[in-house]
Amino acid sequence: MNATDWRHDRIGSAHRGENPTVLRRLDAGFAVMGDRQFLPGYAVLLTDDPAVTRLSELPRARRLAYLTDLERCAEAVERACGRLDPAFRRVNIEILGNTDPYLHAHIWPRYDWEPDHLVRMPVWRYEDEECWRGEHHALAPRHDALRAAITRELDALLK
């Protein structure tokens, strides 16, 4: 498998240890760094079962485990980003499922340095193609310290 194949099977590659975005395996999913980092610290919680397409498909116990994983991941992002950037505001959490067919939740850190017309709006209002497709905001080794900070916070919350 080459280095780009993991994107075609994010969950399977996480199970196999081949997904380089994985921060930590959790009870019902995988905490991963988002591919785009125009809002530094963006993370995603992937379900651990690619056949699950929506939260309501999980049995109640698995659903609660997934939501617990989500709140832990969101708090880890909040703690790490708040410590690393004094302009950190909050996190936004979204379960959308409009593009990728498997259950996943977006955890978007939000900052006071964002443009005034966007800071109070959903992140999807960012229309600059560079944010979504350009190399400048692609997850890269320059994000390793942020990844490590989020992972440390996640580990502390799991104790």
* Per-residue pLDDT reduced to its tens digit, 93-145: 999 988 899 999 999 999 999 999 999 999 999 999 999 999 999 999 999 99
What pLDDT sits at residue 4?
58
Q: Band the pLDDT of 1: cuts 50, 70, 90.
A: very low
Domain with 75, as residue range(s), is 5-158
DSSP string computed for the chain: --TTGGGGGHHHHHHTT--TTEEEE-SSEEEEE-SB-SSTT-EEEEES-TT--SGGGS-HHHHHHHHHHHHHHHHHHHHHHHHH-TTEEEEEEE---SSSSS-EEEEEEEETTS-HHHHTS-GGG---HHHHH-GGGB--GGGHHHHHHHHHHHHHHH-
Reported as a single tens digit per residue, the pLDDT across 28-45 is 999 999 999 999 999 999
In the chain, the percentage of residues whose pLDDT exceeds 70 is 97
Model confidence at 75, pLDDT cuts 50, 70, 90, reads very high
More confident residue, 159 or 114: 114
Checking if the pLDDT of 66 tops 70, the result is: yes
Domain count within the chain: 1
Q: What is the pLDDT of residue 38?
A: 97
Give pLDDT, residue 3: 52
Domain of 115, CATH number, reads 3.30.428.10
